[in-house]
Amino acid sequence: MKKFIDSPFVKAMSEVTANMYRQGWDERNGGNISYLIDDKYIKQYFPKEKVIRDIPMTFAADPIVRNKCFLVTGTGKYFKNVMKDPETNLGLVRIAKNGKVAHLLWGYKGGGKFTSEFPAHIMCHTERLKVNPNNRIIMHTHPTYTMCMGASTPVSEKEFTKRLWTSNTEAIVVFPEGIGVLPCMVCGTNLIGEETAKKMRKFRIVSWTNHGIYGCGNDMDEAFGLIETVEKTAMVYMISLGHVVNVIPPKVLVGLCKLWHLHPMHGVFKELDVIK
Strands 90-95, 69-73: pairing is: antiparallel
CA distances from 139 to 221, 263, 265 (A): 11, 24, 22
Among candidate residues 146, 144, 138, 132, the one with its CA nearest the CA of residue 115: 138
Q: How far apart are the first and last CA of the chain?
A: 53
Q: 49-78: b or e for each residue (b if 16 or more CB lie within 10 Å)?
A: eeeeeebebeeebbeebbebbbbbbbbebb
Residue type, 3: K
Handedness of CA 135, 141, 147, 151 (dihedral sign): positive
CA 187 to CA 178: how far, in whole Å?
Answer: 23
Strands 69-73, 53-56: pairing is: unpaired
Strands 32-37, 53-56: pairing is: unpaired
Across the chain, the runs of DSSP E, i.e. the strands, are: 32-37, 53-56, 69-73, 90-95, 101-107, 137-141, 180-182, 205-208, 212-217
CA 239 to CA 84: how far, in whole Å?
Answer: 35
Annotated catalytic sites, by residue? 117
DSSP 50-98: ---EEEE-SS---GGGTT-EEEEEBTT--GGGTTT-HHHHEEEEEE-TT
